[in-house]
Each structure stands twice: as C-alpha cells, then as structure tokens.
Structure 1
Amino acid sequence: MYLQTWMGTSTTLDPETPLYHMYRDLAMNEEDREILPRQNIRYDITVIPPAVLAGEYVKTKGHYHPENPAGIGYPELYQVLAGEVHFLLQRKNLSDVVAVAASAGEFVLIPPGYGHVSINSGKELLVMANLVSTQFESEYALYEEMRSGAFYAMEDNRNGWVRNPW
C-alpha cells in the first residue's frame, strides 16, 4: 500500500490501482480512422490524475523509440489538452537530460534519440494527445532497469528535481 496525496488529501492506494490511463489508436471520425493507418500513424490519449506518491508527482512509466529504417529514432508529437505537464527527456546514455513544461493548448515534439516520461506537475487532471508511428513498439526496459528516468519530480519545493541514484 502507498500513501497518496490527491488534491491535498492523503489516502491509501492499493498497488494494483492504475496511476494513469492510455487510450490507443483513437480517431475523431471515420475519415480519420481510414487515413491514419494508411499513413502509419497512431493517435492516442493519455490521462494522468493530479496525485503525489511518496512525495513524487505521478508520471508515466517512460519509454524510448527504436531507430527507423533510415537509422534515426522515431519522433513523437504531444498536445496538452488539459492540465500541466513536465516531459523529462533523456538520451539512453544520460548525456543530455531536459525537462520541458507545457500546458493546455501547447505542443511538444519528442525528438529522435530521446526517451521520455510525462509527469502531471499540476493540480488538475492532465489529458494529452499524441501522434506516433505504428511502425515500432516502445522500449521500456531501460526505464524499468533504472526504476524511472534520470530525475524524480518531487512535490517538495526544497527538493524539486531529485537525481535518480540508479
């Protein structure tokens, strides 16, 4: 069991409770449902509630994209539909780690060669849409091995970003 802060109140959270929801391969209408697959593009929605677990803001698991046939990693485009997010972008060797803040209406491009974690850094529900190629599967192993990204986004202002000791 974990102690979770949810909008200022503490509750006990069962470890089986999902921390976020992903809705994959969506379409606005039937025309989009036909066009997107022909272009090898998938449209997804991710919803992350405003919560803090053990002092850390709730986030996605994190993943990398493999290289495409041209030898360049696949990019991913996000749009924040509601709420506030911090994307923690990092290269596999951690030679570059960048935090990008975005709020409703803004777009963030995850460049080739970067893995990413999405963190609900606000006090409201975070809803994001993304476009990504259907030609690969995300790589989660390095994030699992590191037990997350290079840094943890902490609620405590004194600590803020805390380096992952991995």
Structure 2
Amino acid sequence: MSKNRRLHLFCVLFTSAIFFQTSQVSALVTAKAVENQVKEAMVAGVTAEDVVKPVVASAIIEGMSAKDAAAVATKAAVETAFQLGQGIEAVIEGAVMGAASGAIAAGQDVNTAIEGACHGAVTAVAAAKADTRSAAYAAVGGSVNAAARHNQDSALAVSAG
C-alpha cells in the first residue's frame, strides 16, 4: 500500500470517528435540552400538554426521532409532576396528547410519537415506584384522545401505546 493511500485511509477513518463522536454528543445534548425545557416550563406553571407539543415538534425538526423526542419529553413531564405533586394521570394524558400534536406539527407519524410518549410515561412512573397500571391506563386515554383530536385510527393509536 502506498504512503498516500495509507494517509488517505487514515484521514477517512479519523474523520469518521470524529463525526461519530460529535453526533453522539449532539444527540445527548438534544435529549438533555428537551428534558430541561419541559421541566423548566412545568415548574413555571405550563401544563404538560402545552409544553410537550412545541418541545417535541422542535426536537423533531432539529433531527431527533419522533419516538425519542416524545419519550424524553413525556418522561420529563412525569418526573416534574412527581416533584410538584401534580396529578400523574392527568399529566401523562396531557403529555401523550402533546407529543402526538408535536409530531403532527413536525410532519411525523403520530403513532410513533404516541409509542415513545407511553414508554416515557411508564418508565418515569416505574422509576418512582408508583402504580404503572394507572400510568398505562392514562397513556391509553391520552392515545385515544390524541387520535380523536387528529382524526386518526384510535385502535392503531392504542396499539402504539
């Protein structure tokens, strides 16, 4: 192998490694930013639905998947609800509906966002050692309401959740 060819191969590999590391850091920062935006707004008194919708839409537009954006935002909303002593079921339902609306606003699949939101909600509730069954019921309720609001198939939305 010639010296130039080895140098070229090294440069390609080095550039690829840098790109991979940068993209991983960027994704972590984006998830943390989503979490912080939701928590700060809810502490300021904004409802879960009203904060999750624009945060999810913005995160999707910035390159995060609908499922991940919805999961992170909903998890943050539920964690904040526990800290603030808010009704968890209402927050879950609102966050799921907000995530669905945010995905639609960003031109993404509503069912993928619902799936992520339901996962984020149940994960947060399980981490708090609270009633995951009630959380699942609230997530299904939010799924059905979101489907009805956006003229989607509610059976498909429930299966996504």
- Report the TM-score range of the alignment, normalised by the length of the smaller protein: under 0.3
The normalised TM-score by structure 2 is: 0.27
The normalised TM-score by structure 1 is: 0.26
- The one of the two structures with greater contact order (alpha-carbon pairs below 8 A, sep at least 6) is 1
Larger radius of gyration: 2
Quick check: which one's helix share is greater? 2
